[in-house]
Amino acid sequence: MRKHLIIISLIVFLLASFTFSGCINKALETTSAAETSTQTDNQSVETAQLRTPVVMEITPEEAYRIISEGKDHFLLDVRTEAEYNQGHIEGANLIPVDELEARLNEIPRGKQIIVYCKSGGRSRTAAIILIENGFDMVYDMGGITDWQEKGYPVVVEEESNGQFIEITVDESYKIFIGDKDYLFIDVRSEGEYNIGHIEGAINILVSEIDKRLSEIPKDKLIIVYCNGSSCSRSSTAATILIENEYSQIYRIGGKGIIEWIEKGYPVTEL
């Protein structure tokens, strides 16, 4: 009888041990899974934080100090051409925010880039685009209204004595197939030009046009284009040519090269 009791006690003890061990293992597994989940969540938060561009803000006073002291900088106005002409900071380069990604090659690296718009919305968007594309000294000044409230000067563009003529895509095609001596100039980026340009057009970036005037004859009709009326590059280029005494300057309006392609007019791809 005693042996039986001992055997039963051993069986009960072993069963209890196995049950207790299993509970511990499950508890450890649950803890480990929770810790892993927490670590994963933390890593996800850290990764998200790393991916979020950090925009450095600058006051109008700080921007004015950099400009007036002649420190190496690039001043970027991301408003529309009309807004720019109504008043901009002296020396500012105009690249509307919706053209910025296509014109990054016009912005120097290694300089302090000060971005502004009217009230701060577009300048922040532009600053994020620049940071995401590897520019590392980007400062968002916000709106030019803050600059003006501080009494700092702005430049208002004077109208040129000459004037370029805006023509439709169909009118430019008539010139293309006609017998007049002409030259089409694509003022978009090299990448945009290579994707598709008007047959026979040459590519001169708007930022380079005043340095390459020797390549542009004065005795021909000059037709300048980019992506249409909403694209400021072609009007800027046309104005530069007018100011350099070119007299037969046309700018393609509408949707520019986009509309030209949609109509099935001749294009070249590189």
How distant, in Å, are the alpha carbons of 101, 140, 211, 224, 228 from that of 247? 32, 39, 18, 13, 21
The three-state secondary structure class of 159 is coil
Active-site residue identified among 23, 117, 226, 231? 117
Q: Which residues pair with 166 in a beta bridge?
A: 251
The number of beta carbons lying within 10 Å of the beta carbon of residue 66 is 17
How distant, in Å, are the alpha carbons of 16, 39, 125, 212, 231 from that of 88? 84, 50, 19, 26, 18
Do 203 and 241 form a contact (C-beta atoms < 8 A)? no
d(Cα 161, Cα 155) in Å, to the nearest integer? 18
How distant, in Å, are the alpha carbons of 72, 187, 189, 191, 203 from that of 184? 35, 10, 15, 17, 9
Q: Buried b / exposed e across 179-192, counting CB within 10 Å, b at 16+?
A: eeebbbbbbbbeeb
- Known catalytic residue at 117: yes
Tokens of 46: 């850290």
Would you please indicate which residues are annotated as catalytic (active-site) residues? 117
